[in-house]
Amino acid sequence: MIKVENLRKEFKKTVKEPGLAGSFKSLFHPKSERVVAVNDISFHVPKGEILGFIGPNGAGKSTVIKMLTGILTPTSGTCTINGKNPTENRKSYVKEIGVVFGQRTQLWWDLPLRETYGVLKEMYEVPDDSYKERMSFLNEVLELEAFITSPVRTLSLGQRMRADIAASLLHSPKVLFLDEPTIGLDVVVKDNIRKAIAQINEREQTTVILTTHDLADIELLADRIVMIDKGSNVFDGTISELKSRYGRIRELHLETNTKNAEKALGYREHFHFSDDDLKVEQEGSSVKVRFNSDTVSVSDMLAYTLKMVNVKDISVKDADIEEIIRRLYRQGV
Amino acid sequence: MKTLKRISRMHRIFIVQELKRMMEYKGDFIVGIIGFLFAQANNMLFLWLIFRQIPNLAGWSIKEILFIYGFSLIPKGIDHLFFDNLWAVGHFLVQKGDFDKYLTRPVNTLFHVMVEKLQIDALGELLVGIAMVCITLPSLTVEWSVQKILLAVLVIPFATLIYTGIKTITAAIAFWTKKSGNITYMFYMVNEFSKYPVKIYNSFVRNIITYIIPFAFTAYYPAEYILKGENPLFNIGVCVLISIVMMTLGIIVWNKGIRAYESAGS
């Protein structure tokens, strides 16, 4: 369905010395250097899959998405959707895709929402009868009815996002790109939007590429994750693969009356944990211990803990994906 | 043929959309029109004050000069009315990354940008121009023929294309430099020279406005043919040719520019 092969993007960046004098100097003797934003990224997405595309800020996610949506021209490499290539025939390529940038709207700001759909219908040449059918479907899934006659500038962020997603789906695209579709939304709206995405994906086999910083989006929606950092692909696989590959982080919660539990417990000295494999936090009587269960087994940790301090209550749980990703973002891979 | 039909349909839809948008802000709309009429009246007063002192200029009578002035406002007004949004490309669309949305739509980007906005202020310019031509013509002794009437009408869309072409080229520079509003402004303002007979300028200015930034073809040269019947091959023919060259150049630079477009971080 989607094939991304050896995608690379370089930007030219003017190097300036600091201050007004530096800017002035650069006006006459511009110095520039090439910055590699995306370096040799490849992945495939089969039809109907929801792909979570993640990475820390500045990793090059947006640059990749912009190349895949025909906005930026790659320095080298190709991306194709059903054999169509945006650099060769942008117009026929973008007919197959729908795009939502959470930070920007593509709706006509000054006009009632309905008007935007009218123009997009013409732009994408959607026939009258399928337009009607489509609108009633999108209405049902995204609940647009309540504000479809309001000018776009008066919509709340949640309404606007739903309206934007509907706009991107009007022409029944085969692939939907969602760049941070839940940014700045409250929990209820986030939930609704996730449900709508899942519903559309299931009903129409729409392939979805989703970038987000809210890992709940990924856990609830994504079949697979592609993670990039510093412009390169660092992980490609399912969530369970991610969990098993990058160490089994477990969380130990305990209640104790020991004042300085970390010192009293002395995990690091006893088990020889490396810095990344252990983290202890204490707040009053409650202590949270994150550790890598590949280094030390859960039963060893439990037995040792119970021996060292006076424990009132104790529990162990799987660390969530957020913890894994946090570790990966912080240290690189 | 099919694409032409689609283009005109899209154009109509954008214009209707734009008219609806203006109705949303009635006060702003009305004040805009009044303001523009004032500005035009001011211009006319200035012209009248100057030409009252000068009975003729480089062999052109005051009425002929007013005709040239009026004629120059017609292509300028048409371009201003329909294709004003090109300014936004150089001012902020590229710099802020707002150009992204045009690239994700299955419509030619240049066409989309050009027709997205309607600059209703331009109606003032256009109406003043038409009025000046209509008022001066009856009192001028012009030999009319069918050919002349046809050519006089035909030359207007091509003269408009000179404006649009120059704006397109300079706007597209923004794809490399991020901002080019001032470049567009600098080139655009050269059109002020075209309101008067070209013969009053020295050869340097004359060559620039004839061959490099060819605004002289938007009024003076066509007027020379219309009023004096001189040299239609150059006055009209070259106008048509040069406008096509300008617009073609605009499209080429634009298409190259799109590939250099870098968007903005988000």
* Domain boundaries along the sequence of chain A: 41-243, 247-331
| Paired sense of beta strands A2-15 and A31-45, if any | antiparallel
Predicted confidence at residue B124, as pLDDT, reads: 81
For residue B176, count other CB atoms closer than 10 A to its CB. Answer: 15
For A147-177, how does the pLDDT look when each residue is reduced to its tens digit (9 = 90+)?
999 999 999 999 999 999 999 999 999 999 9
Predicted confidence (pLDDT) at residue A319 exceeds the cutoff of 70: no
Predicted confidence at residue B61, as pLDDT, reads: 87
CA of A35 to nearest chain B CA: how many angstroms apart? 12
Predicted confidence (pLDDT) at residue A333 exceeds the cutoff of 60: no
Partner residues linked to A252 by β-bridges = A289, A316
Confidence tier at A3 by pLDDT (50, 70, 90):
very high
Contact at CB, A111 and B20, closer than 8 angstroms: yes
Please say whether the dihedral angle defined by the alpha carbons of residues B44, B50, B52 and B58, taken in this order, is positive or negative. Answer: negative
Predicted confidence at residue A118, as pLDDT, reads: 93
Rg of chain A in Å (alpha carbons): 25
CATH dotted code for A41-243: 3.40.50.300
Predicted confidence at residue A258, as pLDDT, reads: 82
Contact at CB, A124 and B106, closer than 8 angstroms: yes
Identify whether the C-beta of residue B215 lies closer than 8 Å to the C-beta of residue B131.
no
Asked if ipTM goes beyond 0.90, one says: no
Better-scored residue on pLDDT, B23 or A95: A95
- Class of the A247-331 domain? alpha beta
Q: Which regions of chain B are under pLDDT 50?
A: none
Q: How far apart are the first and last CA of chain B?
A: 40
Confidence tier at A273 by pLDDT (50, 70, 90):
confident
Residue B218 is assigned to a structural domain of this protein: yes
Predicted confidence at residue B246, as pLDDT, reads: 96
Predicted confidence (pLDDT) at residue A272 exceeds the cutoff of 60: yes
Q: How many domains does chain B have?
A: 1
Residue B266 is assigned to a structural domain of this protein: no
For the record, the structure tokens of B158 come out as 């091509």
Residue A78 backbone phi and psi in degrees, to 5 = -135, 155
Contact at CB, A94 and B104, closer than 8 angstroms: yes
Domain extent, residue B199, equals 2-260
Residue B41 is assigned to a structural domain of this protein: yes
On average, the pLDDT of chain A sits at 89
Any idea which of A268-272, A319-323, B53-57, B221-225 has the lowest mean pLDDT?
A319-323
Whether A110 and chain B come into contact, CB under 8 Å, resolves to yes
Strands (E), A199-276: 207-211, 224-229, 232-237, 249-256
Q: Which residue of A has its CA nearest to B104?
A: A94
Q: How many CA atoms lie within 13 A of B28 on its CB side?
A: 8
| Paired sense of beta strands A224-229 and A50-54, if any | parallel
Predicted confidence at residue B34, as pLDDT, reads: 83
Confidence tier at A98 by pLDDT (50, 70, 90):
very high
Predicted confidence (pLDDT) at residue A203 exceeds the cutoff of 60: yes
Contact at CB, B262 and A73, closer than 8 angstroms: no
Any idea which of A17-21, A75-79, A283-287 has the lowest mean pLDDT?
A17-21
The answer for A205, left when phi > 0, alpha when psi is -120 to 50, beta otherwise, is: left
Residue type, B92: F
The pTM for the full model equals 0.86
A74-to-A5, A71, A78, B208, B211 alpha-carbon distances in Å: 11, 10, 7, 39, 37
Predicted confidence at residue A325, as pLDDT, reads: 80
